[in-house]
Structure 1
């Protein structure tokens, strides 16, 4: 598997070729006027007691889940896998998609599509990335004062999706 695409690289390459030649603009400048959206992939990882694994970033004041922003031409699933390797030193087989959440612009950050995948159960994970101060396992309600309200809502939906087997779509953490 390539770092950019989590599926079979040969199948992906064949799919790209099947699309045909690169699309050209029929009206110059249309593409450059389009909104720039970012995307991110993360994982809901729990321990055997059902607590959620949070990373403790050194570069911001709140906890987050393992994962991060996609790089150029990288899928959200591939970004989640890459970030889990970088942050935790783990190679996990990600489970199904649990939540797609749109978040609005926040300061310098563009609006974003956040994808949360099932990261399964991992006990005793440790931080391997110098950008992290550590990891902590917390019940979701315990984490509430240490995470953004939208992340709390998103993870509540992710846990519900895990139980029901049906992915959820949300906007700013509120199911639509």
Structure 2
């Protein structure tokens, strides 16, 4: 048996992107979404994981940068694996963390060059604002929060073991 040099072996493994998002709800259970200036659709607060950063740290950083809020990334609620698509040449693994409940949007400070709006929406409204493959994360995150068990999705579809 021939062993491959570790540097060569690792260099030939598939690469993917990682992102982290926050499930933040209001007391009625509505989900907080943000409207980026550079997309046609809404999104969870969050973004890409930077080099040498853990996903939960990325979630906390992104919520601070996007909303001006200091939150702790709580329980992992959803892991969603999405294949390469559109202009994204690599697969994406998205982590959704429980970042709690907000009574109102008072005190939110949006970076206007990046986000044009933030609002709470019912699950039905969330489904109308998020991309089709992303929308299932909201219901899965609410379910995971209630059951205290993370949910695994494959391109937005539930996967059962």
- Under a length normalisation based on structure 1, what TM-score does the superposition of the two structures give? 0.81
| Structure 1: segments with no counterpart, 5+ residues | 1-24
The equivalent position to 1:79 in structure 2, one of 51, 58, 71, is 58
Deviations 1:116-161 (A, max 9, x none): 0101101333342230001011001012222111221111111111
Pair 1:50-2:32 in alignment? no
Give RMSD over aligned pairs.
Answer: 1.4
Residue number among 73, 78, 91 corresponding to 1:111 in the alignment: 91
Match of 1:97 in 2: 76
Higher relative contact order (CA 8 A, sep 6+): 2
Which is richer in helix? 1
- In structure 1, the partner of 2:153 is 170
Which ranges in structure 2 are unaligned for 5 or more consecutive residues? none
- Superposed, 1:1-176 pairs within 5 Å as 26-109=5-88, 110-125=90-105, 126-129=108-111, 130-176=113-159
Work out the number of aligned pairs and report it. 152
Partner Cα distance (1:94, 1:31) in 2: 30
Q: TM-score, normalised by structure 2?
A: 0.88
